[in-house]
Structure formats: structure tokens, C-alpha cells
Chain A
Amino acid sequence: MNKSEDYSDILGTYLFDKRACAKGYALNLFCMSLMKEENRRRFLANEDAYLDLYTLTATQRSAVLDRNWLKMVQEGGNICYVAKLGATSGLSMEELAASMSGMSKDDYRKMMLSGGRPIEGNRSKAEQQVLVGSGRI
């Protein structure tokens, strides 16, 4: 059996598990509604009024209004649903990923073109501490 403790040590990763699924349910339903052009138009015309249709928490609501992608994921958003809001906002998946990792679009693309974010030091908090401690990263 996997328990959430078995993966909570993975840095910068918010597995869409039972907790996230429950926490982000309304947020993800809102995002999914943006698969229809008519809904995208309605949302963009009056974001506050459109969001009133969904029972988001105050944190989720401000994350949506601020287009804070990382916060949405932390508050239970699944990236595949959140991506519908990204699309509605005119952004690509690459731009969303860059934003969530706190990088500029250009720096993120450069990192990907040079082979991506390395696995070394990114497996777990413990591994990162060891590598940092030994001066290897």
C-alpha cells in the first residue's frame, strides 16, 4: 500500500491523490467548464460573476483571478484541468510549467533544450540535502 507519506518527500510535486481530488473538486469542475468556447467567453467577460457559479475557497478564487498556477495546483487543481484555464488565458503548457517552477519562459526553454531538469538532487528532500551537503549541486 502506498501512503501519502511515501511520496510527500518528493520536492515540488503535488500528486493528484485522494486529498487533492477532494480539495480541488470545484476548482477542477470550473476549469473543465472552459472546454466550451461559450463558457470561455462568458468567463473572460466577467470573471467574478462566472466564478460565483462554483464553490471555490477564497484561496482558490484568488489563485484563479491572479493566474497563480502553482497555487492552483497546491490547492487541489489537477494540471490537466488547470490547463484549460491556461488555454483560455492564451498560454501554452510550457509557459504554465515555467511559471510553476518560478522560471522565465526563456530560461525554462533553455533548460529543456539542454536535457531538462536533472533527476540528480530532485528525487527527494533527503537526496537533495545529501548532494547539497557534499557540494555536488
Chain B
Amino acid sequence: MARIVAGVGCSHVHAIGDAIDLGKTEDEYWHRLFEGFKRSKELMSELRPDLLIGVFNDHGSAMPLQYIPTFSLGVAAEFKPADEGWGARQVPIVKGDPEFAWYLAEALILDEFDMTIINEMVVDHGLTVPLSLMFGPAKEWPCPVIPLCVNALTYPSPTGKRCFDLGRAIRKAVAAYAPDLRIVILGTGGMSHQIHGERSGLINSVWDKRFLDRLSSDPLELASIPLLEYVRETGAEGIEMVMWLIMRGALNDEVEEAYRFYHVPASNTAVGNIILMNRGSSG
């Protein structure tokens, strides 16, 4: 049977992609950040996932304003990197797994999560930067990736509670999937950052660290945080952290924190990374 072996929380910052693509990872500004992700890469390669569910928000690259789906799932065989205005990142095409993705879409919809189904989509830095950070430079990503897209651009995004519950529905759907797959779920975005208005550059490290602390032990409390607390305390774009709760909801109640890294700044953003191993029963 398929099983989720681990969950990863990882920020996605456009400038991190630039630093990788332009060979600046050893620069003084970036060195400490990329040192912090060395251990993450080792752990990912030890985990040997057969498939990754990548939860991210599109940044107006694939999703036009004509329609704004709250939750959507990519069922295509491949997803090309988006040109976000600076030219497309020269990273591998994301290969999907249509069979699993359709299974997951059906299971979630029948479980009353009304997913939008996406047959064609480019993927932006929201997904490709965490893939670069977790897998390093690659000719091909080591496993298929199912993009799960969450609206975090137009207020309101889904609530933390709704995200957590969607994670639980993913957990249930995976447990009922017959093929023997080792799955890692990736929740991206955050941590504190605001990239618009006079309050740009806001960072709340105390809040971020408490979020990381409670992710293992008290996810239900995190799920009850109102959206406006994210906006007020962590910056308007810090609201992306609700996506980490989809990841957490998909894990067992008991998890073991295998790794954590926190760094300020990457451009305008506080960067967090956490790797949680599944423990206990998967019920």
C-alpha cells in the first residue's frame, strides 16, 4: 500500500532560485542559507520518495484572475517551469503521475473537498524553488511530483483549519491506494514576509519559531489560528503558511522532527525548513 513517510515544510523565495541559477550560492549573502539546506538534501535522499505531493501557491503565473480556484490538483503528465517575467528557470520539467493524481482528485472530491482539476499548467518558483532546495541541481527530478495549488494571492485564502482537514483527507486517500509507494508531502511558502506596501520587509521570528515548535506537538492549535493573525503578525504574504498545515494534516498524529532550519533574510523573507518523519499508526 502507499504510505506517507515524511512531511517537509519549506519556504519558496524567488531570489533563492536566482541565486541557484546564477551560481551565487557561495556568495556571502547566500552561503549560510545554502549550508542550512545541505542536511535537508541528505535526508531527502535517505527518504527515497517514489512520489512527492507538492503543495504550493501559484504567484499569478499559471492562474489568471479570470478564475481563482481555492484548491486545485494537477493531473497532467508534465508541468513546465513558468516564465514569471525574468524568463523561465532552467530546471527540469516537473513530471506528474496522472494515475495517482486522478485517483487523489476523485478521492478528495468524494470526500467533499471540491478540488479544481488542472490538465495543463506551468509551475512557478512556488514549487520549483523548494524542489531545487530539497533535491539540488538535477537533470531530472528524482520522482514524480503532483502539484497541489492553493490560492494564497486573493484574500481570503482557505483557512488553516480547512487546510489541515484537506491534509487529513489526503492521508486517508493515500492509505487506500494499492500501489506500494513511498510518498513525501511538501508544504511550501512563508515564513514571515510582506512584499508589498510600506510595511514590506516585516519579519516576526518569534512568531515563526513558535509555529515551527508547535507543528509537531500541537498542530490543532496551529489550525485554529485565524487568517488575519498571519496577516497582522507575519506580514500579508505570511498567510502562505496555511499550506504547511496541509502537509501536517497528511501526517500521523505522532511525528518526529528530523530537521529544522531557520534563516533571515532571503531577499524579503524569513526562510524556514522542517522535516517531520511519520511515527505511530497511520489511522
Given A37-B87, A117-B201, the answer on whether A13 and B60 have CB atoms closer than 8 Å is: no
Q: A115's contact among B18, B207, B264, by CB below 8 Å, is which?
A: B264
Chain A residues within an 8 Å CB radius of B206: 119
What is the 8 Å Cβ interface bit string for chain A, positions 76-111, against chain B (1 contact, 0 not)?
Answer: 001111111111100011101110111000001001
Given A13-B197, A83-B85, the answer on whether A93 and B207 have CB atoms closer than 8 Å is: no
Total residue contacts A-B, CB cutoff 8 A? 153
Given A84-B60, A116-B270, the answer on whether A100 and B264 have CB atoms closer than 8 Å is: no
Given A78-B153, A115-B203, A116-B202, the answer on whether A96 and B195 have CB atoms closer than 8 Å is: yes
A6 shortest CB reach to chain B, Å: 6
Chain A residues within an 8 Å CB radius of B231: 7, 10, 13, 15
Given A34-B85, A100-B196, the answer on whether A16 and B265 have CB atoms closer than 8 Å is: no
- Expressed in whole angstroms, the Cα–Cα distance for A17 and B281 within the complex equals 41
Does A11 have its Cβ within 8 Å of any Cβ on chain B?
Answer: yes
Instruction: Give the B interface residue count (CB, 8 A).
Output: 46
**Chain B's interface: helix, strand, loop or mixed, by majority?**
loop
A101-B232 in contact (CB<8A): no
B260 shortest CB reach to chain A, Å: 19
B199 shortest CB reach to chain A, Å: 4
Does A2 have its Cβ within 8 Å of any Cβ on chain B?
Answer: yes
Does B25 have its Cβ within 8 Å of any Cβ on chain A?
Answer: no
B60-A73 in contact (CB<8A): no
Known: A10-B232, A116-B264. 8 other contacts (CB 8 A): A12-B199, A16-B153, A35-B61, A81-B60, A87-B84, A92-B15, A92-B18, A101-B198
- By a beta-carbon cutoff of 8 Å, the part of chain A in contact with chain B is 2, 6-7, 10-17, 21, 25, 28-29, 31-32, 34-37, 40, 70, 73, 78-88, 92-94, 96-98, 100-102, 108, 111-113, 115-119, 122-124
15 A-B Cβ contacts within 8 A? A7-B231, A12-B199, A14-B197, A28-B60, A35-B82, A35-B85, A83-B60, A86-B85, A92-B18, A100-B198, A101-B199, A112-B268, A115-B203, A116-B203, A122-B202
Query: What are the 7 tightest A-B residue pairs by CB atom distance, in nearest-first order?
Result: A116-B203, A87-B85, A12-B198, A12-B199, A97-B200, A79-B196, A84-B85
